[in-house]
């Protein structure tokens, strides 16, 4: 029986604790960076939506012959899906420029 126990190989409790500690430290470093990147992505998403809608205003004006009076005209004409940023900010058309609507 003793011979059987000596040949058995595996991880000790101390080795497992060291591995878990290293993983925990890596997670503590990585998670704050991920949340920061999400905020930056949200801001970039709104900028991209504004640029896309601005291009759609130009297309609408070329096809219809007159500029749209509001973002609703773009949505009704199937030039845009929605008039909001990914973060939920409402956009409006102001003198043929797309801007974030003040709350």
Burial label for 2, CB within 10 Å (0-12, 13-18, 19+), is exposed
Distance CA 45, CA 88 (A): 11
Q: How far is CA 45 from the centre of its chain?
A: 7
Q: Is 54 helix (H, G, I), strand (E, B) or coil?
A: helix
50-92 tens-digit pLDDT: 899 999 999 999 998 888 988 888 889 898 888 888 878 888 8
To 10 degrees, the CA torsion angle through 77, 65, 70, 53? 70
Q: Taking the model in full, what pTM does it have?
A: 0.60
């Amino acid at each position: 029986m003793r011979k059987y126990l000596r040949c058995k190989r595996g991880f000790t409790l101390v080795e497992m604790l060291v591995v878990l500690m290293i993983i925990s430290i890596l997670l503590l470093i990585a998670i704050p960076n991920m949340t920061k990147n999400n905020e930056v992505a949200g801001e970039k998403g709104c900028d991209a939506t504004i640029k896309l809608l601005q291009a759609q205003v130009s297309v609408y004006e070329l096809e219809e012959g007159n500029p749209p009076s509001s973002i609703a005209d773009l949505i009704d004409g199937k030039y845009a899906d929605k008039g909001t940023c990914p973060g939920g900010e409402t956009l409006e058309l102001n003198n043929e420029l797309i801007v974030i609507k003040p709350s």
